[in-house]
């Protein structure tokens, strides 16, 4: 990206303005150990050096995720808290009688539990919740409705994944975070690209230039159409016969 410093400065100013408009004191966000959350953490720390809080929320997660989250926090001088949701998740799926623990519906409980935790800390500290969805994932609906999309602000949603990697390098995020395979951490050995069925390079090229292999372009466009409801507030019925 050209003018990356100016872009980051603009982002930091935007975060401060949005939090000030809400009469908030700072920001809180999930710290997953991935590059997206690391970039959000880096921007948050620049915008609110004393009132940025990263929450590490393992839920039957790979231990390396927590290790990488702490590495990011250490590199940024960021305050963190840990909330282990593994037992809460166990009790939740037991209570509702989940039959297939490996189903996508069961896996999506995890980001929805994390959203609840983030809003607890947000209300406790008068912070706003930051999300880490990027434009690549947002375009194809690769996020959990009312889970990781349940946030107040989306600072990097206008940047495709390849641009997020550029932001990460500018913000001095550790190389190991930038170079690891992106994953939502929903189950063991899960990766974003494996689940989507194409690489971020293909997806980003389509978003930026509308080019790519025809079969994958069709798949991307279908995913975009099918996930349209995830990018908007629910439709509201308004009767033509109702008087105010």
Q: What is the number of alpha carbons within 13 Å of residue 114 lying toward its C-beta?
A: 36
The pLDDT, as a whole number, for residue 1 is 81
Mean pLDDT taken over the chain: 93
For the ranges 111-125, 172-186, 191-205, the maximum mean pLDDT occurs at 111-125
How far apart CA 81 and CA 13 sit, in angstroms, is: 26
The pLDDT-based confidence of 238 (bands split at 50, 70, 90) is confident
Residue 240 has pLDDT above 90, yes or no: no
Give the phi and the psi of residue 163 in degrees, each rounded to 5: -75, -35
What are 21's two structure tokens? Answer: 């408009």
One-character DSSP codes across 150-180? --SB-TTTTS-HHHHHHHHHHTT--HHHHHS
Query: pLDDT per residue over 124-154, tens digit each?
Result: 999 999 999 999 999 999 999 999 999 999 9
> If pLDDT is split at 50, 70 and 90, which confidence band does 243 have?
low
Chain centroid, CA 76 distance in Å: 19
């Amino acid at each position: 990206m050209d003018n990356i410093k100016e872009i980051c400065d603009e982002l930091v100013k935007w975060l401060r303005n949005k939090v000030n408009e809400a009469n908030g004191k700072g920001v809180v966000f999930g710290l997953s150990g991935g590059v997206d959350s690391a970039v959000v953490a880096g921007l948050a720390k620049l915008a609110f050096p004393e009132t940025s809080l990263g929450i590490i929320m393992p839920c039957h997660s790979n231990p390396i995720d927590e290790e990488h989250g702490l590495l990011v926090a250490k590199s940024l001088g960021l305050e963190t808290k840990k909330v282990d949701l593994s037992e809460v998740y166990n009790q939740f799926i037991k209570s509702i009688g989940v039959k297939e623990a490996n189903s996508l519906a069961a896996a999506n409980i995890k980001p929805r539990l994390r959203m609840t935790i983030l809003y607890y800390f947000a209300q406790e500290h008068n912070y706003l919740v930051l999300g880490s969805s990027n434009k690549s994932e947002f375009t194809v609906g690769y996020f959990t409705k009312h889970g990781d999309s349940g946030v107040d602000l989306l600072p990097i949603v206008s940047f495709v994944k390849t641009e997020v990697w550029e932001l990460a390098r500018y913000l001095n995020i550790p190389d190991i975070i930038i170079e690891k395979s992106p994953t939502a951490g929903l189950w063991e050995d899960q990766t974003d690209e494996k689940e989507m069925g194409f690489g971020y390079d293909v997806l980003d090229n389509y978003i930026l230039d509308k080019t790519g292999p025809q079969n994958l372009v069709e798949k991307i466009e279908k995913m975009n159409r099918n996930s349209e409801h995830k990018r908007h507030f629910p439709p509201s019925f308004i009767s033509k016969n109702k008087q105010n």
